[in-house]
Amino acid sequence: MVKSIGFKKINLAVFISGKGSNLKNLIDFTLTKKSKFQIRFIISNNAKAKGLKFAKKFKIQKKIISFQNTRKAESQILKIIKKNKINLICLAGFMKILSKNFIKNFKGKIINIHPSLLPKYKGLNTHERVIKNKEKFSGCTVHFVNSKLDSGKIILQKKIKIKKNDTSKSLAKKILKQEHILYKKALNKIYSKL
Ligand code: GRF
């Protein structure tokens, strides 16, 4: 349990679909002494998401929610969000698209990390496309989620140089490392006035 340090912590829910390295990074961040954040819930649409192991390891509540029926999934999520007084939803490798209606209800309260220099390379397979197009730079972006894919207001961005011998794999690895740094900075930036 989180020790009280005199003020209420900001409650995060992290949504994942896969490995969960960004989730793990956020967990470590929230567990630092001075952190004003706590992860109250982990949600995954994928029962096989490797990142779910962190829920068990760090004793964080989790729920696997099937998105076969988006409306049903989102109403389940809504209940969790309300019950756990979630202040901010952090998408971290979450591969489902939330409905316009859901996003409208949480305007300014959902953020996402994307492995490109948005607005360039929205969507999937960013690194492959970046390498194919012989770009000189790529990077990652943390942004607010709006109803258009990867298009919400940018919170922070990190640019990195692509080397001649970089492949989509080596680029993904380099950028993921930067994602971990950027996500923490973005959270601090959003709540910098607290
Ligand atoms: C990250 O590159 C993220 O930007 C993208 O999916 C990947 C997820 O990685 N949306 P992980 O599950 O956090 O390790």
Nearest residue CA, atom 3 of ligand 1?
93
Residues of the chain with pLDDT under 50: 1-5
Nearest residue CA, atom 5 of ligand 1?
93
Catalytic position from the list 114, 127, 143, 180 = 114
Ligand 1 site-directed mutation target among 14, 22, 42, most atoms within 8 Å of CB: 22
- Least Cα distance to 22 among 90, 87, 124, 119 occurs for 90
Atom of ligand 1 lying closest to residue 25 CA: 13
Instruction: Compute φ and ψ for 9, nearest 5 degrees.
Output: -80, 155
pLDDT attached to residue 194: 58
Nearest residue CA, atom 6 of ligand 1?
93
> Residue 38 has which token pair?
């706590």
Question: Measured in angstroms, how far is the CA atom of residue 150 from the centroid of ligand 1?
Answer: 14
Rounded Cα gap, residues 16 and 74, in angstroms: 15
Sheet containing 154-161, strands listed edge to edge, beginning at the edge strand earlier in sequence: 62-64, 37-44, 10-16, 88-91, 110-114, 137-144, 154-161
pLDDT attached to residue 6: 57
pLDDT attached to residue 47: 98
Question: Measured in angstroms, how far is the CA atom of residue 95 from the centroid of ligand 1?
Answer: 9
Atom of ligand 1 lying closest to residue 16 CA: 12
pLDDT attached to residue 107: 86
Helical residues (DSSP H) of 34-105, grouped into ranges: 53-57, 70-83, 100-105
pLDDT attached to residue 7: 74
Q: What is the dihedral of CA 24, 92, 59, 49, to 10 degrees?
A: -100
Reply yes or no on whether 180 is catalytic: no
| pLDDT tens-digit map of 185-194 | 999 999 996 5
Atom of ligand 1 lying closest to residue 50 CA: 12
> Residue 112 has which token pair?
């996402």
> Residue 122 has which token pair?
């929205």
Q: Taking the model in full, what pTM does it have?
A: 0.95
Residue 163: which H helix or E strand, with range? none
Instruction: Report yes or no: 89 and 13 within 8 Å, Cβ to Cβ.
Output: yes
**CA dist 114 to 53, 69, 93, 141, 144, Å?**
23, 25, 8, 5, 11
